[in-house]
Structure formats: structure tokens, C-alpha cells
């Protein structure tokens, strides 16, 4: 079992779990939020999940309230929102911190393993810095910290982080889909 697979997490229902329960599957670990400009990606994440789940793929959603208070709800409220609004059936986990001093162990390991995100050319960082300044929010943290909601970490069947995608890289983006297909083929 890899380091990432052995880190304890809890499902959105509060049950003890770990990524080890998904050993042998390709995973897309995503920090999600219900009130973000990227929130419509839930639909595309569900589509991606449905497309590849029978081939050994899972999307794992980790709600986070780290960016502009865009995930203020309880775990039950988040689950209800995801189910009703976007028909989410992929596994969801309890709300965690993905950046800063309260960052959970899973996101510590993910960012350490893959400090750079595909699609992060600096333009999103600049836009988010302007957004933060105009809304009296903290500026985005420097790399390797997660920049914003809906960053995606691709984890191999062996539990190794093989890619990281910026929030602005949609789940349907050819770079992401091709990376998933390549990992599934291994």
C-alpha cells in the first residue's frame, strides 16, 4: 500500500476510510465546493466517472472551504446539494482543509508528490489574486499549495500521484481524459 493509500480519511457520511479501499483503481482526487465558479464541473466529473468506472476508475470528491468561503455547508448539506443539483454518484468525503496550516494529511501528500499543475500558466493565479483583493480575501498561496477549488490529482492503480491539473482544466479536457486513459491502460 502506498503512502497516499494509507492515509486515513472519512466518507461524507463520517465512516472511516482511506484511498487504500480503491487500490488497483485509477483515481481522480478533486477538492470541490458548492458556491464556486468551477462548481458546474461536478456535472463533467460525474460524466467522466460514468464513462470510465467500469474500467477501474473513480472520482473522489473532497469538499473544502479554503477559498472564499465557497463551501460553507455541513457534510449532509454538501451531499444533498451534489446529489440533487448535479446527480453526483461518485464517492464523496468529509470536508477537509486542502491548503494552509490546517491542511489535511492527504492533501499534504498530494501536493508534495505533484507540486506543479498542468494548465497553470499563471493567468488563473493572476485572476484569483485580483478576485481575492477585490473581495477582501487572502491571496492564493504560493506553489505547491492548491490554488483554488476543483484542482485534480490523478492517482495510479499503485497509489502514486502521476498528474495534477489546474482548476481551469475541465474534466472533459483532452489532456486530462488522455491521462486517465493512459493510466487505465497500464
Quote the CA–CA distance of 186 and 181 in Å, as a whole number.
9
pLDDT in tens, the chain (186 residues): 899 999 999 999 999 999 999 999 999 999 999 999 899 999 999 999 999 999 999 999 999 999 888 999 999 999 999 999 999 999 999 999 999 999 999 999 999 999 999 998 888 888 888 888 888 877 888 889 999 999 999 999 999 999 999 999 999 999 999 999 999 999
Write out the residue range of the structural domain in which residue 164 sits.
Answer: 3-185
Domain holding 17: CATH number? 3.40.30.10
- Write out the catalytic residue numbers: 36
Q: Per residue in 141-171, is it b (16+ CB within 10 Å) or e — as a string?
A: eeebbbbbbbbbbbbbbebebbbbbbbbbbb
Per-residue pLDDT, 183: 98
Provide the number of structural domains found in the chain.
1
Amino acid at each position: 500500500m502506498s503512502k497516499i493509500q494509507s492515509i486515513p480519511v472519512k466518507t461524507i457520511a463520517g465512516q472511516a476510510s482511506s484511498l487504500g479501499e480503491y487500490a488497483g483503481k485509477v483515481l481522480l482526487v478533486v477538492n470541490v465546493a458548492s458556491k464556486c465558479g468551477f462548481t458546474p464541473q461536478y456535472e463533467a466529473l460525474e460524466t467522466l466517472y460514468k464513462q470510465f468506472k467500469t474500467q477501474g476508475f473513480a472520482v473522489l470528491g473532497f469538499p473544502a472551504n479554503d477559498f472564499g468561503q465557497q463551501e460553507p455547508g455541513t457534510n449532509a448539506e454538501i451531499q444533498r446539494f451534489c446529489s440533487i443539483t448535479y446527480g453526483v454518484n461518485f464517492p464523496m468525503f468529509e470536508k477537509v482543509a486542502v491548503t494552509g496550516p490546517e491542511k489535511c494529511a492527504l492533501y499534504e501528500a498530494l501536493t508534495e508528490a505533484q507540486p506543479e499543475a498542468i494548465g497553470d500558466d499563471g493567468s488563473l493565479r493572476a485572476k484569483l489574486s485580483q478576485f481575492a483583493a477585490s473581495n477582501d480575501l487572502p491571496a492564493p498561496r504560493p506553489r505547491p499549495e492548491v490554488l483554488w477549488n476543483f484542482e485534480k490529482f490523478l492517482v495510479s492503480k499503485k497509489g502514486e500521484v502521476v498528474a495534477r491539473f489546474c482548476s481551469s482544466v475541465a474534466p472533459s479536457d483532452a489532456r486530462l481524459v488522455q491521462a486517465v486513459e493512459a493510466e487505465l491502460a497500464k
